[in-house]
Amino acid sequence: MTCGCLQLAKAGVGVGVKIVAADRASKAERRRRLAICLTCKLCTYNLGQYVLTCGRLFDGSPRDEQADGCGCVIMIKAALSDERCPRGCWESRQSSPPLNNSLQ
The verdict on residue 97 lying in a domain is no
Average pLDDT for residues 59-71, to the nearest whole number?
Answer: 86
pLDDT, position 102: 44
pTM beyond cutoff 0.85: no
Give the range of the structural domain holding residue 72, as residue numbers without chain letter. 5-92
Residue 100 belongs to a domain:
no
* CB-neighbour burial class of residue 22 (10 A; exposed 0-12, middle 13-18, buried 19+): exposed
Please classify residue 58 by burial: count the beta carbons closer than 10 Å to its beta carbon, then call 0-12 exposed, 13-18 middle and 19+ buried.
buried
Distance CA(71)–CA(56), nearest Å, equals 5
pLDDT band at 96 (very low <50, low <70, confident <90, very high): very low
Domain-located, residue 98: no
Within a domain: 48: yes
User: Does residue 57 surpass a pLDDT of 70?
Assistant: yes
Please tell me the total count of domains within the chain: 1
- The better pLDDT of the pair 73, 100 is held by 73
pLDDT confidence of residue 42: 92
